[in-house]
Amino acid sequence: MASPSVRAPGRVGRRDDTRLALLFILPASIGLVAFYFWPLVRGIWLSFTSWDLLSPAEFVGLENYRAMAADPVFWNAVRVTLLYVVINIGLQTVVALVIAVLMQRLSRSTLLRSLVLAPYLVSNVVAALVFLWILDYQLGIGNQVLEWVGLDRIGFFTSEAWAIPTIAVVNVWRHMGYTALLIFAGLQAIPPTTYEAARVDGASEVRTFFGITLPLLRPILGLVLIISVIGSFQVFDTVAVTTNGGPVDASRVLQLYIYDKAFGQFDFGYASALSVAMLLILVVVTFFQYRMTRAGQTDLN
């Protein structure tokens, strides 16, 4: 299967590598079709049906989508999910960026890097349980500390205003090391010579960061943002463990609603329509992110 290309100097890299490329993407394509696209097609089909498990799916046209448009719980879920994503991603990106830059600047210690990644080693469910306990209104050490400092106790998971921010922060805790490590990998890919040029020009730390580091980090940062936003939209475990959508509907995020419709009420058709809505939201959001961050391109070459 040796590539047929590549002998003639001067035409290097300009040859057509189609056959080799197809070979190289073959395994990935199998996974793509079998475990992503086939389920996707099936899900889209189901969204036009009424299906409750055993009885065969019955085609109902746009009925599910009409119901969805008129469903206040759905629109509330969209609003709550967006609020969550904004808080979660905003905070996480800033914190992760700070950690990554600090790691790069302060120490190459392996231990430090391991410690920072430690929360990622814990599953969502356990992270949620631990914080549910630490932040318990009455018995949590968190609220105890607030009281010692002289502040009022806060119903972190139990008041409508705090539920979503708290859940967002719990997930920031779990993912910030992960995100920081990805950004860190991107930082390492920036040739050191670029920094030196800036130093020679006498640029300050802050200017170097905003003028050089950030722009050169853009492709990786863009990628990390896209990935985190997509993951953030699908928040589920943390909510299910801590508030289960409450108080009232304050934390009833989209994924929780989909899950409840499918597994709690066996309304798989409607749940599929909700999933399609989520897919569409993700496609739109990702498209704009991709465009804005030009994540697909690189400035380095």
Partner 1 sequence: MHHARRITASLAAALAAGTLALAGCAGPGTAAASEDSVVLDYWLWDANQLPAYQRCADEFERRNPDLQVRISQYGWNDYWRKLTAGFVAGAGPDVFTDHLTQYPGFAQRGLLRDLNTLEATADVDYGEFQEGLPDLWVGQDGSQYGMPKDFDTVALFYDTNAVTEAGLSPEDLQDLDWNPEDGGSFEKVIAHLTVDENGVRGDEEGFDPDRVAVYGLASNGSGGMSGQTTWSWLAGATGWTFTDKDVWGTEYHFDDPRVQASLKWLFGLVEKGYMAPYEEVGTEPNPQQALGSGRAAISANGSWMLGTYANLEGVDLGIAPPPSGPVGHPVSMYNGLADSISAQSPDPEEAARWVAFLGSDDCQRIVGEAGVVFPARPAGTEAAVEAFEERGLDASVFTDLVEKKQTFFFPVTEEFGAIDALMTPMMDEIYIGDRDVSTLTEVNEQVNGLLR
Partner 2 sequence: MTETTTAPAAPTTVPAPDTPRAAPPRRRRRRVSPGRVLAWAVMILLLLVTLFPFYWMLRTALSSNGALYANSTSLLPVDFSWGGFERVFGLQSTEEAIAQGGSGASIDFWLYLRNSVVVATVVTACQVFFSAMAAYAFSRLRWRGRNVVFGVFLLSLMVPVIFTLLPNFLLVRELGLVDTLLGIMLPGLFMTPFAIFFLRQFFMNVSTEVEEAALIDGASKVRVFFAIIIPMSVGPIATISILTYIGSWNDYFWPLMVSYTDDSRVLTVALGNFNAQTPQTGPDWAGLMAATLVAALPMILLFLVFARRIVNSIGFSGIK
Per partner kind, with CB cut-offs from 5 to 8 A, the member of partner 2, partner 1, none near residue 201 is: none
Q: Does 129 bind partner 2 (CB under 8 A)?
A: yes
| Nearest-approach distance from CB 139 to partner 2, in angstroms | 4
Q: Are 179 and 96 in contact (CB under 8 A)?
A: yes
- Which is nearer to partner 1, 81 or 243 (by Cβ)? 243
| Nearest-approach distance from CB 102 to partner 2, in angstroms | 5
How far apart (Å, rounded) are the C-alpha atoms in residues 180 and 193?
A: 23
| Nearest-approach distance from CB 111 to partner 1, in angstroms | 20
| Nearest-approach distance from CB 24 to partner 2, in angstroms | 4
- Of 235, 230, 234, nearest to 288 by C-alpha is 230
What mask, x for binding partner 2 by CB under 8 A, covers residues 180 to 199? Answer: -xx--x-xxxxxxx-xx--x
Strands (E), 98-186: none
| Nearest-approach distance from CB 159 to partner 2, in angstroms | 20
Per partner kind, with CB cut-offs from 5 to 8 A, the member of partner 1, partner 2, none near residue 15 is: partner 2
Window 49 to 78, contacts with partner 2 (CB under 8 A) = none
Contacts of 85 (CB under 8 A, 6+ apart): 229, 232, 233
How far apart (Å, rounded) are the C-alpha atoms in residues 90 and 107?
A: 26
Per partner kind, with CB cut-offs from 5 to 8 A, the member of partner 2, partner 1, none near residue 144 is: partner 2
Q: Does 91 bind partner 2 (CB under 8 A)?
A: no
50 phi/psi in degrees, rounded to 5: -110, 115
Q: Token digits for 281?
A: 């939201």
Per partner kind, with CB cut-offs from 5 to 8 A, the member of partner 2, partner 1, none near residue 264 is: partner 1
> What SS3 state is found at 276?
helix
How far apart (Å, rounded) are the C-alpha atoms in residues 273 and 43?
A: 8
